[in-house]
């Protein structure tokens, strides 16, 4: 019988825990292991079987790019499409780089254009953003090594070998699990929110046993925690996780809507000893919303489920909301006199408080469920439709969506545009400098430029130092290995898989410096296979990498050296200004629907401008999070400000949806006091947000939050009682919707104290 000695497994357990902490889902290990098997085999095939060094080099670098530098997610068919697209792009870039390389001015100009297009295309899709380095390598390799056109077929053949090996490798060699990093936390938010809603209606008069205040608070806390987890998962992805597919476009919108839903739940008053008057219709809507969220969570967890139950639950929720609007006209005491005191005035408006909260909640849940339904429908398409890119058709066409995203960033306020221009300039200068200095391997200069160019001069300089340090260490290790091997060059074949494995794992498991050192060792081994090992060559590569790093630092100094902290403030200011305009336009549209003399037009242009500025803000915020070093602004304050933009924009969406499809109301007076009261309150609220935008832009102080105005509320109540009633003196549906519109304005007002505190805490030093 074996005896287990206590503590014997502790070192292994510590190593496993350390590894899981550095590479939680083993993504880096998976890519590195796959590449370590394929890359040496292809290099051997090209050099030893086909006896073509050119084919061998491009096969090796092609497999390195297609297997190690990218890791596409989603269903296997979607991954294969992405891999095939990357291979096709490599073929085009190799042809272009080979054609322009002999003429230096043409090579520089083409590098500028190609570099910018590749880097900027990342705004269209996170797949393109994650493939940028792999795509650039496909152009940098041929443009830095001029050869006669007679060698182009060998180059293409090498890339073809890499593509032919990459396609089965991603399917058979430790394939990535089919999972979306946002689906699980999104499903958790849906389930927690559903439990919270059921806790809300489990009071007196509700179904099932009543729960106490502690249970209700626990349900609320779970919903808030799930929303915070989703926000963290979304923010920590290196790129905004969007694509041109229907499923990816639906999912990214789902994140903002779920976070907004948790904000709505947090804004709901906690139960007190005196529960509010029961509104059976509002309870019905709340229960229906909880059912919809449960079905949505099931589809997020398993998109193969039948979409029918979700659609049926959504139809029931819509019917419940329509019924609540009708019953609210009876609950509103339009025929009863209202006193002049603030308590009586706000008491009249509060008659519809429960129904408004249910209406706000129902709209948010329907938006969420619609996106979940669309994503699941897209996921369940036949594989032929997925392979051919045939979309369900409920969203805008992919080309239209791509143009909208690109257009949103075609201005200097866009961090993505700045980084794309900076990267293109750095690569173009590196090509020119490599030619002027006459270095032996200009490819290394471009690698140095590409590896360290960051969003500001400080971070670029820090990364440049680490890159040079890693290259020095890798060169010394490589030179030492070559010195030990001597003339036994066959040993390099055994070292190559180990070096590739280390190059793939080291950046994630250890550090960027270690990764740069391992990559340098890989290139040293690769370039010496089949030749007499020369350790002097390894040391000469340090000057090439240092030259490329110096280019990156100089470009960062001249192109927006302040980095993302200032850029995120600019993006916040722009986003709040445009979102406030959209909110004002939404309220104008609502009032227009209450006026028979005018034709109300939806604020489509303001909506697009607000959405575009929100995309620019998201990119600036991600860059801010990715920058190394201590943050001068509290991360909690910055997150609050970023989340506030989405809340204001979605509140405007709710107002537009409330009135969409309703014919103009014919009233006794076309310009009622209700209109003036609503427009006046909306003007004050939106002016506050414009003042916040000015503060974030650095020009004014944070404005004071807008207080309640009982006189405006009194005018609204009087107008509802006199102008928005039918012939029997009963409130109309327009009266209900105008009060709900006022409540949406008040929701935007209640956000202000928290945003003001965050803006003061997040002020630029």
Question: How does DSSP assign 139-195, residue by residue?
Answer: HHHHHTS---GGGHHHHHHHHHHHHHHHHHHHHHSSPPPS--TTHHHHHHHHHHHHH
- For residue 36, pLDDT beyond 50: yes
How far is 472 from 466, CA to CA, in rounded Å? 10
Contacts of 310 (CB under 8 A, 6+ apart): 292, 295, 296, 298, 299, 369, 372, 373, 376
How far is 727 from 335, CA to CA, in rounded Å? 11
> Which tokens hold the place of 399?
């080309």
pLDDT score at 600? 66
pLDDT score at 330? 66
How far is 258 from 246, CA to CA, in rounded Å? 18
What is the average per-residue pLDDT within 25-40? 86
CA distances from 19 to 24, 459, 719 (A): 7, 27, 67
Q: Are 481 and 580 in contact (CB under 8 A)?
A: no
How far is 538 from 541, CA to CA, in rounded Å? 6
Q: Are 764 and 616 in contact (CB under 8 A)?
A: no
Q: Model confidence at 478, in pLDDT bands (50, 70, 90)? A: confident
Tens digits of residue pLDDT in 539-596: 566 666 666 666 666 666 666 555 667 778 888 889 999 999 999 999 988 888 776 5
Other beta carbons within 10 angstroms of residue 84's beta carbon come to 14
- For residue 1, pLDDT beyond 50: no
| Full set of structural domains in the chain with CATH | 183-404 (1.20.58), 411-559 (no CATH), 564-761 (1.20.58)
The pTM of the full predicted model, rounded to 2 decimals, is: 0.76
pLDDT score at 534? 58
656 vs 565, residue with greater confidence: 656
Helix/strand/coil percent split, the chain, to 5: 75, 0, 25
> Which tokens hold the place of 36?
């370590």
> Which tokens hold the place of 108?
């520089």
- For residue 613, pLDDT beyond 50: yes
464 vs 640, residue with greater confidence: 640
pLDDT score at 163? 94
pLDDT score at 240? 56
Residue 638 exposed, middle or buried by CB count within 10 Å (0-12, 13-18, 19+): buried
CA atoms within 13 A on the CB side of 391: 18
CA distances from 384 to 78, 88, 210, 245, 717 (A): 11, 20, 51, 14, 59
> Which tokens hold the place of 128?
């393109």
- For residue 390, pLDDT beyond 60: no
Q: Are 94 and 58 in contact (CB under 8 A)?
A: yes
- Write down the number of H helices and E strands in the chain: 30, 0
- For residue 467, pLDDT beyond 80: no
> Which tokens hold the place of 539?
């040391």
Q: Which long-range contacts (CB under 8 A, 24 or more apart) does 396-402 make?
A: 398/244, 398/245, 401/244, 401/249, 402/124, 402/125, 402/244
Q: What is the DSSP string of 241-282?
A: ---SSHHHHHHHHHHHHHHHHHHHHHHSPPP-SSPPPP-HHH
Q: Are 345 and 708 in contact (CB under 8 A)?
A: no
Q: Are 675 and 667 in contact (CB under 8 A)?
A: no
The H-or-E segment that residue 369 falls in is helix 353-379
Q: Are 402 and 94 in contact (CB under 8 A)?
A: no
Mean pLDDT of the chain: 76
**Location of structure tokens 């060698």:** 151
Q: Are 240 and 182 in contact (CB under 8 A)?
A: no
pLDDT score at 742? 83
429 vs 51, residue with greater confidence: 51
Q: Are 239 and 621 in contact (CB under 8 A)?
A: no
Angle, vertex CA 554, rays to CA 549 and CA 559, nearest 5: 125
Nearest to 565 by CA among 513, 651, 623, 641: 623
What is the average per-residue pLDDT within 262-268? 80
What are phi and psi for residue 85, nearest 5 degrees? -65, -40
How far is 122 from 241, CA to CA, in rounded Å? 11
What is the average per-residue pLDDT within 494-523? 81
How far is 66 from 736, CA to CA, in rounded Å? 58
Q: Model confidence at 347, in pLDDT bands (50, 70, 90)? A: low
Tens digits of residue pLDDT in 196-224: 888 887 755 455 555 567 777 888 888 88
pLDDT score at 5? 44
Instruction: Output DSSP code: residue 703.
Output: P
Burial letters 289-298, b for 16+ CB under 10 A, else e? bbbbbbbbbb
CA distances from 230 to 34, 240, 329, 359, 751 (A): 31, 14, 38, 24, 21
What is the average per-residue pLDDT within 227-253? 65
What is the average per-residue pLDDT within 367-373? 88
Q: Model confidence at 358, in pLDDT bands (50, 70, 90)? A: confident
- For residue 384, pLDDT beyond 60: no
How far is 648 from 748, CA to CA, in rounded Å? 6
Instruction: Output DSSP code: residue 707.
Output: P
Tens digits of residue pLDDT in 141-184: 898 888 899 999 999 999 999 999 999 998 888 887 766 667 88
Tens digits of residue pLDDT in 441-454: 566 666 666 665 55
Nearest to 434 by CA among 443, 426, 425: 443
Q: Model confidence at 484, in pLDDT bands (50, 70, 90)? A: confident
Tens digits of residue pLDDT in 711-744: 666 666 666 656 555 555 566 777 778 778 888 8
Most confident of 569-583, 614-628, 661-675: 569-583
What is the average per-residue pLDDT within 387-400? 53
Q: Are 597 and 663 in contact (CB under 8 A)?
A: no
CA 536 to chain centroid, in Å, comes to: 46
Sequence-ordered alpha helix ranges (H) in 438-486: 442-452, 457-485
pLDDT score at 289? 93
> Which tokens hold the place of 143?
């443009």
Judged by DSSP in three states, 700 sits in coil
What is the average per-residue pLDDT within 112-117? 92
The H-or-E segment that residue 600 falls in is none
- Write down how long the chain is: 765
How far is 417 from 419, CA to CA, in rounded Å? 6
Q: Are 380 and 266 in contact (CB under 8 A)?
A: no
Q: Are 198 and 290 in contact (CB under 8 A)?
A: yes
pLDDT score at 244? 43
420 vs 662, residue with greater confidence: 420
CA 306 to chain centroid, in Å, comes to: 28
What is the average per-residue pLDDT within 88-110? 93
């Amino acid at each position: 019988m074996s005896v287990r000695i206590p503590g014997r497994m502790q070192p292994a357990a510590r190593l496993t825990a350390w590894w899981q902490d550095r590479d939680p889902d083993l993504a880096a290990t998976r890519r590195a292991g796959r590449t370590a098997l394929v890359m040496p085999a292809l290099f051997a095939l090209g050099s030893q079987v086909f006896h073509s060094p050119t084919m061998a080099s491009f096969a090796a670098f092609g497999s390195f790019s297609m297997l190690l530098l990218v890791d596409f997610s989603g269903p296997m068919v979607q991954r294969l499409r992405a891999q095939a697209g990357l291979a096709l792009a490599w073929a085009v870039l190799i042809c272009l780089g080979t054609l322009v390389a002999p003429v230096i001015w043409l090579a520089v100009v083409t590098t500028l254009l190609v570099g910018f297009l590749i880097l900027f295309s990342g705004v269209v899709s996170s797949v393109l953003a994650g493939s940028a380095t792999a795509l650039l390598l496909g152009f940098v390799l041929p443009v830095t090594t001029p050869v006669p056109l007679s060698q182009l077929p060998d180059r293409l053949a090498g890339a073809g070998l890499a593509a032919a090996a990459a396609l089965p490798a991603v399917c058979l060699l430790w394939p990535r699990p089919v999972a979306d990093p946002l689906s699980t936390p999104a499903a958790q938010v849906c389930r927690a929110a559903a439990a919270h809603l059921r806790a809300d209606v489990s009071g007196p008069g509700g179904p099932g046993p009543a729960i106490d205040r502690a249970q209700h608070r626990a349900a609320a806390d779970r919903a808030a925690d799930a929303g915070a987890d989703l926000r963290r998962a979304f923010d920590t992805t290196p790129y905004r996780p969007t694509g041109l597919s229907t499923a990816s476009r639906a999912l990214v919108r789902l994140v903002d809507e779920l976070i907004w839903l948790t904000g709505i739940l947090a804004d709901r008053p906690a139960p007190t000893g005196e529960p509010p008057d029961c509104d059976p219709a509002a309870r019905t809507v709340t229960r229906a919303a909880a059912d919809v969220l449960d079905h949505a969570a099931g589809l997020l967890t398993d998109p193969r489920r039948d979409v029918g139950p979700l659609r049926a639950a959504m139809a029931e929720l819509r019917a419940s909301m329509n019924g609540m609007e009708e019953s609210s006209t009876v609950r509103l005491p339009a025929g009863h006199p209202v006193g002049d005191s603030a308590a009586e005035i706000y008491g009249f408006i509060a008659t519809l408080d429960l129904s408004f909260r249910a209406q706000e909640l129902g709209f948010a849940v329907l938006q969420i469920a619609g996106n979940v339904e669309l994503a699941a429908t897209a996921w369940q398409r036949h594989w032929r439709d997925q392979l051919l890119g045939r979309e369900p058709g409920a969203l805008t066409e992919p080309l239209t969506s791509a143009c909208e995203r690109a257009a949103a960033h075609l201005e200097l306020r866009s961090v993505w545009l700045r980084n794309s221009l900076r990267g293109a300039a750095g690569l173009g200068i590196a090509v020119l400098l490599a030619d002027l200095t006459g270095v032996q391997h200009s490819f290394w200069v471009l690698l140095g430029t590409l590896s360290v160019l960051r969003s500001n001069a400080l971070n670029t300089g820090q990364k440049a130092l680490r890159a040079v340090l890693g290259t020095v260490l890798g060169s010394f290790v490589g030179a030492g290995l070559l010195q030990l091997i001597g003339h036994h060059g066959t040993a390099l074949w055994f070292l190559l898989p180990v070096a590739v494995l280390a190059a793939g794992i080291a950046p994630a498991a250890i550090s960027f410096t270690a990764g740069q050192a391992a990559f340098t060792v890989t290139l040293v081994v690769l370039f010496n296979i089949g030749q007499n090992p020369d350790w002097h060559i390894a040391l000469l590569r340090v000057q090439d990498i240092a030259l490329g790093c110096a280019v990156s630092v100089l470009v960062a100094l001249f192109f927006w050296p302040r980095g993302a902290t200032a850029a995120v403030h600019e993006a916040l200011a722009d986003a709040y200004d445009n979102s406030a305009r959209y909110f004002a336009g939404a309220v104008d549209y609502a009032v227009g629907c209450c006026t028979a003399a005018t034709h109300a037009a939806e604020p489509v242009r303001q909506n697009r401008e607000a959405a575009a500025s929100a995309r620019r803000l998201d990119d600036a915020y991600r860059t801010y999070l990715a920058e190394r070093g201590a943050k001068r602004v509290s991360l909690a304050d910055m997150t609050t400000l970023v989340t506030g933009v989405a809340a204001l924009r979605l509140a405007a969406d709710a107002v537009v949806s409330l009135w969409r499809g309703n014919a103009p109301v014919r009233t006794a007076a076309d310009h009622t006091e209700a209109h003036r009261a609503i427009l006046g309150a909306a003007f004050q609220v939106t002016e506050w947000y414009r003042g916040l935008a000015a503060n974030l832009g650095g020009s004014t102080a944070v404005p004071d939050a807008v207080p309640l105005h009982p006189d405006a509320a009194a005018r609204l109540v009087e107008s509802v009682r006199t102008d928005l009633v039918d012939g029997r003196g009963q409130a109309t549906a327009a009266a209900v919707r105008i009060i709900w519109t006022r409540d949406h304005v008040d929701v935007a007002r209640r956000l202000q104290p928290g945003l003001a505190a965050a803006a003061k805490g997040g002020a630029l030093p």
